[in-house]
């Protein structure tokens, strides 16, 4: 490969290479094969059930997995052997339950030591790259200003950062790279159009696959965050979850019975939901949600009011913590506007859970009560106990970006898509 990297992709239906004689760069190896892989069938269905049971409830004995997955013990043992070879699960001798009768039962858990997923969150101002283990826990992440210039140049320099990140984790078997982005995203083709960045339709998935030699999964960033919440957070699998995101951009997505409703990638555009106020929006109206709550707007107002002397959101939070009345007024205004918007979305869908993500919420925990009170006042439905903050705090972008790859590992543990 031109970049000198040799990121091999597993060719067989469950081949994972970890040749210790390889140079570190060579050890970055994909688990997911090409898109033409053989379809699954019951062997895969059993593996999905076993792996899902272990992910949700592990560490578990084989007998407990059999009960949880509704499979026979011999089937579970066979599947566990196959998943162990793939380094997706492993025995946890530390958790042995020795009841003194027969062989001690060594529980099985997700193997967080080998396979990893890489992720890129492409934000309007900040891009985050990260690497997560099979439980969605970040091994490392780093932020950079989203590169200016053409989409191709930006993707090239982001790919450079990803390669540097992977070089720092040479022993990891990298299953692929997730790209989570705002704008219009087609997960099937990997094509992205991002008006905010001035990107026309770009074959982002293909471009990154070529640059990195790894499979790339492209998803909208809000659906990816909702998927992360379902897979690794508190979203729960049953019922309806509404996920609302707010930082520089806003978005919302619905998940029903553990599945994110992605539609054609155009739903959930709540940027112009009217929330009152007089901030002028690019659409010509005043009081649209996104422009009202965006970090850049709040910061611009803080600069104008003399609350901060540089456009740094942390300074605003520090000022608020120090009791600066204008800082508090700005953050309270944002929290109330968000609360009103979330109330409208809640009344529209009547979900079981509303998960709020993004720094507009998670960086301002002191203002959550105001968000909740404004939500309660604006919603026609009773109760606020369904409101939750997302499970990943300020890491939400990085975890979400890695999640697309991890979802595929859990849906297709033997590698077919
Ligand atoms: Zn607008």
Query: Could you tell me the distance, in angstroms and rounded to a whole number, from the CA of residue 202 to the centre of ligand 1?
Result: 25
Query: Could you tell me the distance, in angstroms and rounded to a whole number, from the CA of residue 199 to the centre of ligand 1?
Result: 20
Verify that 189 and 260 share a domain, yes or no: no
Mean pLDDT of 99-110: 76
Mean pLDDT of 275-281: 92
Query: Could you tell me the distance, in angstroms and rounded to a whole number, from the CA of residue 289 to the centre of ligand 1?
Result: 7
Query: Could you tell me the distance, in angstroms and rounded to a whole number, from the CA of residue 283 to the centre of ligand 1?
Result: 4
Q: Which residues contact 361 (CB under 8 A, 6 or more apart)?
A: 246, 338, 368, 371, 389, 390
Verify that 176 and 267 share a domain, yes or no: no
Average model confidence (pLDDT) across the chain: 87
Question: What pLDDT digit, counting tens, does each position of 192-234 carry?
Answer: 999 889 999 999 999 999 999 999 999 999 999 999 999 999 7
Query: Could you tell me the distance, in angstroms and rounded to a whole number, from the CA of residue 293 to the centre of ligand 1?
Result: 12
Verify that 172 and 266 share a domain, yes or no: no
Q: Would the pLDDT of 59 be above 60? A: yes
pLDDT band at 237, cuts 50/70/90? low
Q: Would the pLDDT of 399 be above 50? A: yes
Query: Could you tell me the distance, in angstroms and rounded to a whole number, from the CA of residue 319 to the centre of ligand 1?
Result: 29
pLDDT band at 97, cuts 50/70/90? low
Mean pLDDT of 383-407: 95
Q: Which residues contact 122 (CB under 8 A, 6 or more apart)?
A: 146, 158, 179, 180, 181, 182, 194, 197, 221
Asked if 415 and 37 count as a contact pair (C-beta separation under 8 A), the reply is: yes
Verify that 135 and 229 share a domain, yes or no: yes
H helices of 233-382, in order, are 289-293, 295-304, 313-321, 325-349, 359-362, 368-378
Verify that 334 and 216 share a domain, yes or no: no
Verify that 63 and 182 share a domain, yes or no: yes
Asked if 345 and 338 count as a contact pair (C-beta separation under 8 A), the reply is: no
Q: Taking the alpha carbons of 260, 261, 264, 265 in that order, is the dihedral positive or negative?
A: negative
Query: Could you tell me the distance, in angstroms and rounded to a whole number, from the CA of residue 351 to the centre of ligand 1?
Result: 26
Report pLDDT for 255: 94
Verify that 169 and 250 share a domain, yes or no: no
Report pLDDT for 101: 60
Query: Could you tell me the distance, in angstroms and rounded to a whole number, from the CA of residue 95 to the centre of ligand 1?
Result: 55
Verify that 56 and 170 share a domain, yes or no: yes
Q: Would the pLDDT of 299 be above 90? A: yes
Report pLDDT for 262: 83
Query: Could you tell me the distance, in angstroms and rounded to a whole number, from the CA of residue 322 to the centre of ligand 1?
Result: 33
Verify that 66 and 211 share a domain, yes or no: yes
Verify that 22 and 166 share a domain, yes or no: yes
Q: By C-alpha distance, which of 213, 149, 27 is closest to 157?
A: 149
Q: Which residues contact 13 (CB under 8 A, 6 or more apart)?
A: 33, 37, 38, 414, 415, 416
Report the share of the chain in percent with pLDDT over 90. Answer: 78
Report pLDDT for 415: 85
Mean pLDDT of 92-116: 80
Q: How many CB atoms lie under 10 A from the CB of residue 141?
A: 20
Mean pLDDT of 161-190: 95
Query: Could you tell me the distance, in angstroms and rounded to a whole number, from the CA of residue 396 to the centre of ligand 1?
Result: 26
Mean pLDDT of 172-181: 97
Residue 268 structural domain: 236-390
Verify that 203 and 267 share a domain, yes or no: no
Query: Could you tell me the distance, in angstroms and rounded to a whole number, from the CA of residue 275 to the centre of ligand 1?
Result: 10
Q: How many domains does the chain have?
A: 2
Mean pLDDT of 160-187: 96
Verify that 290 and 350 share a domain, yes or no: yes
> Which CATH number fits the domain that encloses residue 304?
3.30.420.40
Question: What pLDDT digit, counting tens, does each position of 340-365 carry?
Answer: 999 999 999 999 999 999 999 999 89
pLDDT band at 416, cuts 50/70/90? low
C-alpha 283/C-alpha 306 separation (Å) is: 28
């Amino acid at each position: 490969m031109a970049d000198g990297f040799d990121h091999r992709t597993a060719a067989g239906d469950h081949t994972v290479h970890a040749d210790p004689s390889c140079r570190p760069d060579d050890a970055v190896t994909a688990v997911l094969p090409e898109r033409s892989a053989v379809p699954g069938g019951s062997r895969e269905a059993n593996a999905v059930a076993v792996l899902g049971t272990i992910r949700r409830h592990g560490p578990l004995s084989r007998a407990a997995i059999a009960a949880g997955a509704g499979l026979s013990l011999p089937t579970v043992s066979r599947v566990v052997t196959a998943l162990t070879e793939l380094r997706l699960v492993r025995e946890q001798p530390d958790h042995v339950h020795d009841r003194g009768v027969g062989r001690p039962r060594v529980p099985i858990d997700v193997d967080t030591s080998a396979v990893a997923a890489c992720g890129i969150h492409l934000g309007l101002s900040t891009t985050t790259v990260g690497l997560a283990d099979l439980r969605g826990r970040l091994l490392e992440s780093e932020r950079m200003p989203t590169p200016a210039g053409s989409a191709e140049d930006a993707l090239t320099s982001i790919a450079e950062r990803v390669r540097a990140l992977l070089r720092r984790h040479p022993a990891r078997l990298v299953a692929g790279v997730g790209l989570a982005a705002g704008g219009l995203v087609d997960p099937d083709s990997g094509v992205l159009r991002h008006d905010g960045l001035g990107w026309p339709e770009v074959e982002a998935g293909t471009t990154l696959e070529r640059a990195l030699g790894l499979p790339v999964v492209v998803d909208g960033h809000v659906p990816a965050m909702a998927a992360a919440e379902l897979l690794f957070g508190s979203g729960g699998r049953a019922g309806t979850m509404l996920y609302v995101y707010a930082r520089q951009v806003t978005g919302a997505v619905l998940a029903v019975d553990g599945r994110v409703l992605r539609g054609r990638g155009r739903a959930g555009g709540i940027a112009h939901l009217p929330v009152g106020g007089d901030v002028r929006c690019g659409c010509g109206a005043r009081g649209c949600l996104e422009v009202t709550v965006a970090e850049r707007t709040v910061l611009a107002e803080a600069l104008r009011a003399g609350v901060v002397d540089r456009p740094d959101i942390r300074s605003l939070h520090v000022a608020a913590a120090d009791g600066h009345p204008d800082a508090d007024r700005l953050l309270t205004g944002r929290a109330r506007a968000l609360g009103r918007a979330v109330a409208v979305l809640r009344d529209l869908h009547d979900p079981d859970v509303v998960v709020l993500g993004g720094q507009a919420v998670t960086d301002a925990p002191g203002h959550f009560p105001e968000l909740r009170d404004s939500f309660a006042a604006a919603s026609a439905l009773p109760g606020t106990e369904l409101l939750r903050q997302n499970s990943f705090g300020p890491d939400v972008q990085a975890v979400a970006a890695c999640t697309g790859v991890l979802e595929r590992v859990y849906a297709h543990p033997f590698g077919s898509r």
